[in-house]
Amino acid sequence: MSVGFDHETLGQRIVFKSGSAADNLAAEVGRLRASRVMVIAAEFESETAKKVSTGFDVALHYSDVSPHVPIAKAKAARAIASEYDIDLLVCIGGGSTTGLAKAIAMTTGLPIVAVPTTYSGSEGTNVWGLTANSRKLTGVDNRVLPVTVIYDAELTLSLPVELSVASGLNALAHCVDSMWAPRADPINQAFASEGIRALASGLQAVVSDPAGIDGRERALYGAYLSAVAFASAGSGMHHKICHVLGGAYGMPHAQTHATVLPHVLAFNAQHAPEAEIRIAAAFGADSAVEGLDRLCSALGAPNALKEYGFDEAAIPEAARLILPAIPESNPHVVTIDDLERLLRAVWSGRPVEG
């Protein structure tokens, strides 16, 4: 069997060491010769941000962060970055915080140093997302790729176990989608396989020992691999569903990904046998669906979007919004009836269906 593909690897510096975020961040600011630094962190992470950014002068601490990056907040942040003559963006937090930094970089070209405190993986991609008129818009732009990512597992210790699980399953969804997304290839499938293995073992360790560093390091490592795979492979069926649910209905990002993932995997796995074998092997299971189901059960993962405010009456509209976004490369043809059936299971928490 012949193999042929085109693969582009994104250039990015990774600094990974627990307990060293402040020192490593100060070193990066110095290496980049920045003098007007804007530190972006949500209000609830402001103390963490101040501790991590003590080794250099900060021109502006900014905390007006919201999920899914509303366009109005992006415009306001861009204006204030210009007003303060910022030359470097430092984002400390999860996907929403990184997303706001990307929104600024997209129009200004300012470099980003990302310091993740969750497993969202946004820091490892050149993908941006903005919400306007209840629709989430996404795109690819190399200007939004952080030049450096500083990983420190100690910064995830304040993330509750429940959110750690949802955030980690969001990362795992990047891996699964990367197996059959439009630009899937053997390289990002290899990254995705190792990401699944690391995330599965890491998240189980986080649940059993929330104060332990080892599991959180494994989860961060897996989250980075998931981001690299996703950045290369692109958005598959899973992400298209979650983008609509997040943008149109304000659903929480990580919990939505965690809830939708088992259903998309069950829908696609039997039609992508090579990918199914890879995923099953990464879980150490006889099948991909069994492996994910076993992991979700062990983690006590979220499984019903009605628990997060999704209205069952919105399902037909959501299915209509999702269908045009499903990539032609999806392993299995998707119909409006398929989507409605999948969304009803996602809403109710019913067991997955093949």
pLDDT digits (tens, 9 = 90+) for 272-309: 999 999 999 999 999 999 999 999 999 999 999 999 99
Task: Determine the Cα–Cα distance for residues 236 and 104; give it in Å rounded to an integer.
Answer: 26
Residue 101 lies in a domain: yes
User: For residue 199, what is the domain's CATH number?
Assistant: 1.20.1090.10
Residue 191 lies in a domain: yes
Q: What confidence score (pLDDT) does residue 285 get?
A: 97
pLDDT digits (tens, 9 = 90+) for 28-72: 999 999 999 999 999 999 999 999 999 999 999 999 999 889 999
- For the residues 118-142, what does the mean pLDDT come to? 91
- Number of domains forming the structure of the chain: 2
Q: What confidence score (pLDDT) does residue 353 get?
A: 66
- Whether 134 and 168 share a structural domain: no
**What domain range is 246 assigned to?**
161-348
- Whether 137 and 174 share a structural domain: no
Q: Which residues does 148 contact at the CB level (< 8 Å), separation at least 6?
A: 12, 13, 14, 15, 28, 32, 113, 114
Q: What confidence score (pLDDT) does residue 316 get?
A: 97
- For the residues 168-189, what does the mean pLDDT come to? 95
Out of 108, 141, 156, a domain closes at: 156
Give 278: exposed, middle or buried? Use CB within 10 Å, 0-12, 13-18, 19+: buried
Out of 156, 180, 213, a domain closes at: 156
Q: What confidence score (pLDDT) does residue 291 get?
A: 97
- Give yes or no for a contact between 191 and 228, defined as CB atoms under 8 angstroms apart: yes
- Whether 194 and 97 share a structural domain: no
- Whether 53 and 127 share a structural domain: yes
User: For residue 128, what is the domain's CATH number?
Assistant: 3.40.50.1970
- Whether 342 and 204 share a structural domain: yes
- Give yes or no for a contact between 305 and 316, defined as CB atoms under 8 angstroms apart: no
- Give yes or no for a contact between 124 and 12, defined as CB atoms under 8 angstroms apart: yes
pLDDT digits (tens, 9 = 90+) for 187-235: 999 999 999 999 999 999 999 999 999 999 999 999 999 999 999 999 9
Backbone angles phi, psi at 114, to 5 degrees: -105, 135
- Give yes or no for a contact between 318 and 329, defined as CB atoms under 8 angstroms apart: no
Query: Band of the pLDDT at 9, cuts 50, 70, 90?
Result: confident
- For the residues 112-119, what does the mean pLDDT come to? 97
- Whether 127 and 188 share a structural domain: no
- Whether 188 and 121 share a structural domain: no
Query: Band of the pLDDT at 135, cuts 50, 70, 90?
Result: confident
- Whether 209 and 340 share a structural domain: yes
- Whether 325 and 279 share a structural domain: yes
On the question of pLDDT at 1 being above 60, the answer is no
